[in-house]
Amino acid sequence: MIDLRSDTVTRPSEAMREAARDAEVGDDVYGEDPTVNELEARVADVLGTEDALLVPSGTMGNQVAARTHTDRGQEVVCERESHVYKWELGGLAQHSGLQVRPVAGDDRGVLAPEQVREAHVAADDHRPGTGLLTLENTHNSKGGTALAPETVDAAVDAAHERGVPVHLDGARLFNAAVAQDVPASRFVEPVDSAMACLSKGLGAPVGSVLAGDAAFVERAHRVRKLMGGGMRQAGIVAAPGLLALEGRDRLAEDHERAPPASGKASGVSRSATTACGSVPTGTSTTGTSGRRWRPSSGRSPDSSGRASARSSQATVPTVSLVHAFLESRGGPAEEKEDGEEKQDEHAHDPDEDEVDTPVEHAPG
């Protein structure tokens, strides 16, 4: 049975394994790993930023960004169902001493500019003020919605009007770009930092990248070390990431294979997370690590689907494949009870490491 829990269960291709084996390496903490340097430069070029930083996971990327942008005690405004708030173990408070001001977005996870303005708190002798706005695209807990960049521009502008930086959790940013048929750089252009995963549907075994201007990345490099993300001969991680990045346009094939939530599973003959060269897993109860999913853990065996249409709010369905598969077997997918986790770290796998998907993932 095909494992549709999440696009995080993809496995690296033989080409990725060979690239890891043959990678030229150095000490990345000293900035001396040529393969890591190449990956970071390539990601910065693709996203249109001055620089980029390799991190082990999407969650670390988000947490490093938050710590880099803010001062302790400040507030972070985010959508109420966002990954950074819902699926990262309260990291904003634990790692950075931040308070969260969650705001309920619309059914796609979009925050209106007036909501950003209302949530903003000016710093004074009694209040620490708002230090960061975080956005998520695709939005995992809203069904994998791939938001058109213009729909979030107004929220970014509202934050910038008040001097508040904006971080984009783009665990599946490249899925959003494919679904909306725009360059990934368009999503990153208005924000101050962005994180994108190279695992998930892109198929790399590990790794995400945090991007921004040169000054931000220089500060983030130090915070990454603080959080335990300084890696030595990390070229063996970066090399598969380079191959994953170059295969990003093939995510369109995943989107085509993923039926809408109301559709059936007919025609889905293999994992919808294999287009970029990754290998599908072969069982529905065990992930690539071989650890069996346990109901008591609160993790869901569901898997997120992929976007099928390039509409203004395309959906990269995080649950469509599972629903379709179960419906094809004679019964609807059971809904989760309130409070029960549906995903894992960006696919519910707390720390893959974000888009791409076959099930609701607790992203990144």
Please tell me the distance from the alpha carbon of residue 242 to that of residue 39, in angstroms, as a whole number: 6
In a domain, 157, yes or no: yes
In a domain, 111, yes or no: yes
For residue 166, list its beta bridge partners. 133
In a domain, 215, yes or no: yes
In a domain, 289, yes or no: no
pTM: 0.76
State how many domains the chain has.
1
In a domain, 294, yes or no: no
Question: CATH number of the domain that 38 lies in?
Answer: 3.40.640.10
Q: Residue 116: which domain range?
A: 14-245
Q: Which pLDDT score is estimated for 313?
A: 57
In a domain, 166, yes or no: yes
Q: Which pLDDT score is estimated for 316?
A: 54
Q: Which pLDDT score is estimated for 7?
A: 87
Judge contact between 36 and 93, C-beta under 8 A.
no
pLDDT values of the chain reduced to their tens digit, one per residue, 364 residues:
778 788 888 889 999 999 999 999 999 999 999 999 999 999 999 999 999 999 999 999 999 999 999 999 999 999 999 999 999 999 999 999 999 999 999 999 999 999 999 999 999 999 999 999 999 999 999 989 999 999 899 999 999 999 999 999 999 999 999 999 999 999 999 999 999 999 998 999 999 999 999 999 999 999 999 999 999 999 999 999 999 999 999 999 988 887 665 333 322 222 333 345 444 443 332 233 333 333 343 433 333 333 333 344 565 544 334 334 334 444 433 443 444 444 444 444 444 444 343 444 444 5
Q: Which pLDDT score is estimated for 260?
A: 61
In a domain, 42, yes or no: yes
In a domain, 162, yes or no: yes
Please tell me the distance from the alpha carbon of residue 153 to that of residue 112, in angstroms, as a whole number: 10
Q: Which pLDDT score is estimated for 180?
A: 95
Q: Which pLDDT score is estimated for 241?
A: 98
